[in-house]
A = this chain, B = another copy of it.
Amino acid sequence: MKKVNYRDIQGSAPEGTKGVDFKQLIAKNVDAPQFYMRLFDIVPDGHTPRHSHEWEHEIFVVEGSGKVVLQDREEKLIKGDAVFVEPGELHQFVNDGEELFRLICVIPKPSSD
């Protein structure tokens, strides 16, 4: 068993983000074999890139609210929502609220790791 608290992890701001603090929680640091758990803290007016990729996302909204912007629509997200983004689907997470928007995001282990 390995345990980390997000407060003890140094964050980063991935390319294409605005107002995002990104932390790898369960990844190469613990030799996770199949999927990685990450945390996104998005401040008001912040967002992740609007992009697509061949892997899925499994998201859980831990704090705050915001929206997910897709190819042809957007949907409101609130605390307690779980979101499945399909492989290849265009998506962006946006904090259009006034509080921190905190997401857990799980992806398959990257082939490069």
Contact = CB atoms under 8 A, between A and B. Distances in A.
Interface string A5-49: 111000000000000000001100010111101010000000000
A91 to B, nearest CB: 7
A58 B106 contact: yes
A97 interface: no
- Copies of the chain in the assembly: 2
Interface of A: 1-7, 25-26, 30, 32-35, 37, 39, 56, 58, 60, 62, 68, 70, 75, 77-78, 80-87, 89, 91, 104, 106, 108
20 contacts: A1-B68, A1-B85, A2-B84, A3-B84, A4-B81, A4-B82, A5-B78, A5-B81, A7-B80, A25-B60, A26-B82, A32-B56, A34-B35, A37-B60, A37-B82, A58-B106, A60-B62, A60-B104, A104-B104, A106-B106
